[in-house]
């Protein structure tokens, strides 16, 4: 018997636990301090009424013999996949229902998809980025190469023809930097992937935050992407599903590598390993894509984006460099006075009682940067910003 010792190579997931500990220690010492948390990327507004109504009806259906549902299709009910298909048609992306796989949030699919690829592949991951990509590949024992996302390339790195990669992660809008690739830049990635016979794993978890219509919100808006990309999209941030759990993965039929059809392989893999997302949750998810549901979730997204605007204009006023906040719920700022990320964290917590996320937790290029989120409530966001504006840097 041999253990997969690659798991021992995982770095302790200390970022949010360290933040939590520091905040708890501070609260103990200063019980009267009202700490405002603009750190963790979890939503704060409840599910919209269309989702709730639809889920309540689904619960009633489950209570009657005639409408009760047992196991559903492992890749999702047709009513939800049709709604997602229509959502993509609005982006001028035509998908077949069989190309859409409903999941229980994208984190697990992003990791499990790696099962389709041999261990001996080179993985390219931007730095800084959502840490789950690195962890999933460390556990698989894959070789990881990092591509630098820096102030110089506006946190939107492009491929280096001299660097060979087989599996490429792209997160746009990016967590944590808020940077979003345009069509031309994504086309460069698609061309690179096709010429290197590589696959792009495109994480579109924050696509609903893109308000600039000139920017792509799906990689499949790019010519040729169906030949080289898989897209992951989550309802977590779009519609407050972080606790309800639903998302979807799109694998085009055209995606063939080494003579293997990845769509068929994933379908077979799900049949072996997954029994689908609950009917009630899928009914709730389908309500998001109705006209009334879209209006409600747009209002929620606009609320968060207004928070982002409030943070962004304060940083502008203070002459602090930042990216994001326009087409993303994240604001990525450069720590004033060349402070290191954790030093700035301590300073903000001590002097403004505001908790954010140190950029260094997202990769080495995140050192000296800091992430604030727009997912807080309005009153707290305004108060946090006012306190930050009163600080001396
Ligand atoms: N991808 C990115 C970039 C994220 O930031 C997150 C969550 O924060 C996820 C994926 C996970 O989403 P889900 O809740 O659908 O698992």
Q: Domain ends where: 239, 272, 290?
A: 290
With the most atoms of ligand 1 within 8 angstroms of its CB, the residue from 233, 234, 285 to mutate is 234
Does the structure show a pLDDT above 80 at 351?
yes
Cα(134) to ligand 1 centroid in Å equals 14
pLDDT at residue 13 tops 90: no
Which of 152, 155, 151 shows the shortest CA–CA distance to 126? 155
Q: Whose CA is nearest to atom 15 of ligand 1?
A: 105
Q: Does pTM top 0.75 for this prediction?
A: yes
Show the tokens assigned to 354: 């505001």
199 and 59 housed in the same domain: yes
Residues 106 and 29 in one domain: no
Phi-psi label, residue 168: left if phi above 0, alpha if psi -120 to 50, beta otherwise: beta
Q: For residue 376, give the CATH number of its domain.
A: 3.90.1150.10
- State whether 64 and 17 are in the same domain: no
For 227, which DSSP code?
Answer: G
pLDDT at 14 over 90: no
372 vs 379: CA distance, rounded Å: 15
Please work out whether the CB of residue 203 comes within 6 Å of at least one atom of ligand 1. yes
Same-domain status, 313 and 282: no
* Strand ranges, E, within 128-246: 143-148, 167-171, 199-203, 229-234
Question: What is the count of structural domains for the chain?
Answer: 2
Query: Does 185 lie in the same domain as 302?
Result: no
172 Cβ inside 6 Å of ligand 1: no
Task: For 246-276, give one letter per residue: b (16+ CB within 10 A) or e.
Answer: bbbbbbbeebebeeeebbeebeebbeeebeb
Q: 188: which residues sit within 8 A by CB, 6+ positions away?
A: 158, 159
Confidence at 17, pLDDT banded by 50, 70, 90: confident
> 233 C-alpha vs ligand 1 centroid, how far in Å?
9
- 228 plus 348 within the same structural domain: no
CA of 247 to the centre of ligand 1 (A): 10
Report CA(205)–ligand 1 centroid distance (Å). Answer: 6
Q: What is the structure's pLDDT at 359? A: 97
pLDDT for 259 equals: 95
- Cβ(234) – ligand 1 distance below 6 Å: yes
Per-residue pLDDT reduced to its tens digit, 280-336: 999 999 999 999 999 999 999 999 999 999 999 999 999 999 999 999 999 999 999
The answer to whether residues 248 and 228 belong to one domain is: yes
Same domain, 307 and 354: yes
- The whole-number pLDDT of residue 60 equals 98
Domain that holds residue 59: 49-290
The pLDDT-based confidence of 16 (bands split at 50, 70, 90) is confident
34 and 58 assigned to the same domain: no
Instruction: Give the per-residue pLDDT at 11.
Output: 85
Q: Which CATH number belongs to the domain containing residue 271 in this structure?
A: 3.40.640.10
Ligand 1 mean position, distance from CA 349 (Å): 26
pLDDT in tens, 357-376: 999 999 999 999 999 999 99
pLDDT of residue 12: 78
Residues 62 and 171 in one domain: yes
Q: Is residue 355 very low, low, confident or very high in pLDDT (cuts 50, 70, 90)?
A: very high
- DSSP run (H or E) holding 371: strand 369-373
Query: Of 235, 268, 290, at which residue does a domain stop?
Result: 290
Q: Provide the pLDDT for residue 34.
A: 96
Decide: helix, strand or coil at residue 50. helix
What does the alpha-carbon distance between residue 101 and residue 91 come to, in Å, rounded to a whole number? Answer: 18
- For residue 49, which of 329, 334, 290 has the smallest C-alpha distance? 290
Query: Would you say the CB of residue 126 lies under 6 angstroms from ligand 1?
Result: no
- Residue 298 and residue 282 share a domain: no
**Is residue 15 over pLDDT 90?**
no
First to last CA, the chain: 57
Instruction: Say whether pLDDT at 388 is over 80.
Output: yes
Strand partners, 331: 324, 372
pLDDT digits (tens, 9 = 90+) for 38-52: 988 899 999 999 999
- Measured in Å, residue 204 CA sits from the centre of ligand 1 at 9
Last residue of a domain, one of 290, 309, 332: 290
Ligand 1 atom, smallest distance to 247 CA: 15
Pick the atom of ligand 1 nearest to 236's CA: 14
In tens, the pLDDT along 152-192 reads 999 999 999 999 999 999 999 999 999 999 999 999 999 99
Tell me the per-residue pLDDT of 60-111, one tens digit each, with 9 for 90 and over.
Answer: 999 999 999 999 999 999 999 999 999 999 999 999 999 999 999 999 999 9
Rounded to an integer, what distance in angstroms lies between the CA atom of residue 328 and that of residue 374? 9
Q: Are 205 and 285 found together in one domain?
A: yes
* pLDDT, position 337: 93
% of the chain residues with pLDDT over 90: 96
Q: Taking all residues of the chain, what is their mean pLDDT, rounded to a whole number?
A: 96
Could you give phi then psi for residue 379, rounded to 5 degrees? -60, -45
Alpha-carbon distance of 282 to 57, in angstroms, equals 12
Question: Residue 240 in contact with residue 229, Cβ under 8 Å?
Answer: no
Which residues, listed in sequence order, are joined to residue 249 by a DSSP beta bridge?
Answer: 101, 232
């Amino acid at each position: 018997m041999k253990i997969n010792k690659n798991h021992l190579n995982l770095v302790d997931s200390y970022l949010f636990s360290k933040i939590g500990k520091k905040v708890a220690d501070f609260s103990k010492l200063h019980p009267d301090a009202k700490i405002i948390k603009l750190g963790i990327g979890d939503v704060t507004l409840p599910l919209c009424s269309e989702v709730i109504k639809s889920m309540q009806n689904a619960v009633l259906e489950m209570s009657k013999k005639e409408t009760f549902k047992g196991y559903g299709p492992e890749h999702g009910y047709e009513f939800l996949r049709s709604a997602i298909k229509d959502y993509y048609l609005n982006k001028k992306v035509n998908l077949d229902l069989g190309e859409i796989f409903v999941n229980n949030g994208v984190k697990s699919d992003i990791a499990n998809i790696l099962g389709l690829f041999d261990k001996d592949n080179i993985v390219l991951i931007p730095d800084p980025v959502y840490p789950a990509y690195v962890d999933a590949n460390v556990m698989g024992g894959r070789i990881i190469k990092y591509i630098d996302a820096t102030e110089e390339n506006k946190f939107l790195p492009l491929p280096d023809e001299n660097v060979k990669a087989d599996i490429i992660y792209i997160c746009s809008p990016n967590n944590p930097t808020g940077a979003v690739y345009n069509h031309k830049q994504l086309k460069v990635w698609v061309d690179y992937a096709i010429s290197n016979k590589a696959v792009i794993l495109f994480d579109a978890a924050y696509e609903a935050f893109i308000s600039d219509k000139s920017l792509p919100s799906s990689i499949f808006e790019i010519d040729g992407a169906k030949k080289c990309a898989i897209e992951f999209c989550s309802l977590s941030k779009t519609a407050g599903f972080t606790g309800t759990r639903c998302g979807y993965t799109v694998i085009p039929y055209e995606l063939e590598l080494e003579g293997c059809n990845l769509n068929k392989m994933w379908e077979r893999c799900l049949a072996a390993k997954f029994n689908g997302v609950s009917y009630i949750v899928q009914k709730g998810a389908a309500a998001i894509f109705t006209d009334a549901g879209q209006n409600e979730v747009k209002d929620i997204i606009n609320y968060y984006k207004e928070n982002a605007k409030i943070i962004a204009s304060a940083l502008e006023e203070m002459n602090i460099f930042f990216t994001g906040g326009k087409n993303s719920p994240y604001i990525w700022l450069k720590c004033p006075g060349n402070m290191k990320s954790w030093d700035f964290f301590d300073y903000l917590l001590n002097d403004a009682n505001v908790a954010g996320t140190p950029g260094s937790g997202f990769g080495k290029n995140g050192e000296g940067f800091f992430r604030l989120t727009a997912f807080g409530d309005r009153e707290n966001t305004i108060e946090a910003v006012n306190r930050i504006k009163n600080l001396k840097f």
